[in-house]
Amino acid sequence: MKLKLVLLQSALVFTCCTAAGLLLCNQLSQAQGQQPAANQAPQVEQQLPAALEEILKKWELESSKIEKLEGKHIRIEYEDVFKVEKQSEGIFYYEKPDKGRIDITGMDIKKGAKGKKIDPKTGQPYQLRPGANECWICDGKRIFSINEDEKSYEVFPIPLERRGVNIMEGPLPFLFGMPAKTAKERYFLILEINNPQQILIAAKPKRRADAANYSEAKIILNPKTYLPSAVLLIHPGGKQSTVYTFKDVVANKSRGIIRKLFTDDPFVPDLADYRLEGKVVAVAGEENVQRPVQQAAPVQQATFKVPNMLGRDYKTAQKLIKDMGFESKVYPGKPAQKPDQRIYHVYDQRPVPGEAVKPGAVIHLQLYTDPSKQQN
């Protein structure tokens, strides 16, 4: 995935509405029209039902006990405009506080296999396709975004002030838990299911930075372990969604899955046959890249050129840009007319990739738009 740098910097669902839940829905609809400024919490804190408050506290408590977390995951991406369903699978591994690895492999699609989702207009299932083959690694000091299909990678240093921060955002949001205070500051929360079998929480972002990634998330927690069993992310615009399901999730095990798959350190990528992409000079000056492209300089002295955001979805692009110390603005462009022209993906940017800019510069991104919303 052109991996989401926030997790890249920081590690990886959910219907029984009570009267309190319905009241919460009303509060949510009112608050949505009063979005705070970017990255700022709203003035009035949402009043949560006692049951949800207790769940958040338990979730935080159980998450704080996790030193290591590993498991398998299945990712299904739905693109409603082109009626495409992409299926991937992989593993994830996390070591407290800031090391993580996610490997994702597109599933083999058997001939004649049909998608699970049905187009309500035609009654036909979505077209099945394998997802991308990709890997994301955070060693606590750098993020490696690796495209296995193209044998290419990008490296991004983590700012010194963000090192050691628990990775609770990114490609697999909510997987690594979230402090109760943070959850309430960042999301409008609704407890939809709470029984001995599962806990289902719906979360809508308060912050613009989060809302750029998904308009709503639903998280299913195991009531015994408070580990997530599934996460649903609904993308902005409502035309795309991603579902993650988790299995064989174990905590505080000594590199069980990872030890079987990797004989060396899982946070040290072997990039011998890979090319550095995007003309991003972002070497971190640490020792654990086996074959760096060039002699590394200290992270705090690293210099940057504009990374290549072309072809990325805008949420990933904005996270990458933000975490590299730049600003971004997105603009609606021409409608997507072909399968390879994905809505809300970048097809033009200024400054152009590779151009040298100062920290804090604004990178302008132009996106393919949803053709179904074009006016005649």
Task: Give the fold, CATH level 3, of 304-376.
Answer: Trypsin Inhibitor V; Chain A (3.30.10)
**pLDDT value, residue 42:** 44
User: Which ranges of the chain have pLDDT less than 50?
Assistant: 1-43, 170-171, 279-303
Q: Which residues, 6 or more positions from 248, have their beta carbon under 8 angstroms from its beta carbon?
A: 71, 72, 257
Rounded to an integer, what is the distance from CA 340 to the centroid of its chain?
Answer: 21
**pLDDT value, residue 126:** 95
d(CA 341, CA 320): 21
pTM of the model: 0.62
Query: Residues 153-175: pLDDT tens digits?
Result: 888 877 776 666 655 554 456 76
**pLDDT value, residue 158:** 75
Task: Report the 10 Å Cβ neighbour count for 224.
Answer: 9
**pLDDT value, residue 29:** 29
d(CA 127, CA 82): 9
For residue 46, the one-letter residue type is Q
**pLDDT value, residue 167:** 58
d(CA 204, CA 206): 7
Torsion-angle region of 151 (φ positive above 0: left; ψ -120 to 50: alpha; else: beta): left
Per the CB < 8 A criterion, the answer to whether 7 and 173 are in contact is yes
Domain boundaries, the chain: 5-261, 304-376
**pLDDT value, residue 295:** 34
**pLDDT value, residue 162:** 66
| CATH, domain range 5-261 | 2.50.20.10
**pLDDT value, residue 214:** 86
**pLDDT value, residue 255:** 62
